[in-house]
Amino acid sequence: MGKIVFLANDAGETMIELIDFENTPKVETKSLTMSFKVDVPLEDVHKKALLLGYSPSNIIDEGQKPTYFNLEDPDGILVEFSL
């Protein structure tokens, strides 16, 4: 047995399935990055990450790449949020 979580868009369509199986070897997540485009002010998402206890990077605006920030989840996966 394990756990499964479905992440959906505003229309209720499943976009990502996260599955955690019990008693299985953990997958190495070093160098794994997941990126998400947000449709709300990036500052609001950054503030929410802080309120939830994460340590996000500063918001970065380098010109050629979309404005973004990163945070590391508890499993070591780098998560990027951008406009």
pLDDT in tens, 14-28: 778 888 888 888 777
Residue 33 contacts residue 78 (beta carbons within 8 Å):
yes
Q: Please identify which residue in the block is written with the tokens 């990055």.
A: 33
Between the alpha carbon of residue 72 and those of residues 23, 34, 38, the distances in Å are 24, 10, 17
What is residue 71's predicted lDDT score, i.e. its pLDDT?
A: 94
pLDDT (mean) for 67-79:
88
| CATH C-level class of 25-82 | alpha beta
* pTM higher than 0.85: no
Annotated domain spans of the chain: 25-82
pLDDT in tens, 31-65: 888 898 999 999 999 999 999 999 999 999 988 88
